């Protein structure tokens, strides 16, 4: 795929991430419930960890400046980068199996959602650690179930359709990454 097409699609996914994260999310005191992982995961699945991380961090920075909800934090940008890298590492040019999806989402949830985001929120807002970790652990458990289902049942078929129709081609055509749905 040429870079112009790749950049155009990543730009659209970045804009979608901003919309999903800033306009369609529910913000509570300690947690935020959103579905922006869909566009971050799709970008990482289609174009790899570097492009997924770039899209996620650009969406975080752009969304923070367009729709500020608090002070800018580079640690939260690191969380966004980690999300794109993790999804890309597990899914790019690989078959999306149930096992791989569960492992990827567990890794992302524990590293990004629980550890890195807890550090960021504690650093920014000085929320009591016990209260923060309890709220984050409940959210992380819910995130694992929801993201696993959406990635496996929605994004895997979308990726397969894009590949089968030739709209997006895997970088290494020698690997068989599309299994029958």
Q: Residue 140, class by beta-carbon neighbours within 10 Å (0-12 exposed, 13-18 middle, 19+ buried)?
A: buried
**Is residue 98 over pLDDT 90?**
yes
pTM reported for the whole predicted model: 0.90
List all residues 6 or more positions away from 157 whose beta carbon is below 8 Å from its beta carbon.
181
List all residues 6 or more positions away from 111 whose beta carbon is below 8 Å from its beta carbon.
82, 86
Q: How confident is the model at residue 69 (pLDDT cuts 50, 70, 90)?
A: confident
Amino acid 121: pLDDT = 87
pLDDT digits (tens, 9 = 90+) for 8-20: 999 999 999 999 9
Amino acid 156: pLDDT = 96
Give me the domains of the chain, ranges plus CATH numbers: 3-164 (1.10.1760.20)
Q: What angle, rounded to 10 degrees, do the helices at 49-66 and 3-18 form? A: 40
């Amino acid at each position: 795929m040429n870079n112009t097409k790749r950049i155009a699609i990543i730009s659209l996914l970045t804009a979608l991430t901003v919309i999903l994260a800033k306009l369609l999310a529910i913000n509570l005191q300690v947690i935020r419930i959103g579905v922006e992982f869909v566009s971050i995961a799709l970008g990482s699945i289609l174009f790899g960890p570097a492009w997924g991380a770039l899209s996620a961090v650009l969406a975080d920075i752009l969304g923070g400046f367009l729709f500020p909800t608090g002070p800018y934090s580079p640690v939260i940008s690191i969380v966004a980068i980690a999300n794109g890298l993790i999804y890309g590492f597990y899914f790019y040019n690989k078959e999306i199996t149930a096992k791989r999806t569960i492992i990827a989402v567990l890794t992302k949830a524990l590293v990004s959602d629980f550890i890195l985001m807890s550090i960021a929120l504690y650093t920014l807002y000085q929320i009591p650690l016990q209260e923060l970790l309890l709220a984050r652990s409940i959210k992380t458990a819910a995130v694992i179930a929801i993201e696993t289902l959406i990635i496996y049942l929605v994004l895997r078929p979308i990726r397969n359709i894009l590949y089968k129709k030739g709209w997006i081609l895997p970088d290494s055509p020698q690997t068989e990454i599309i299994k029958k749905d």
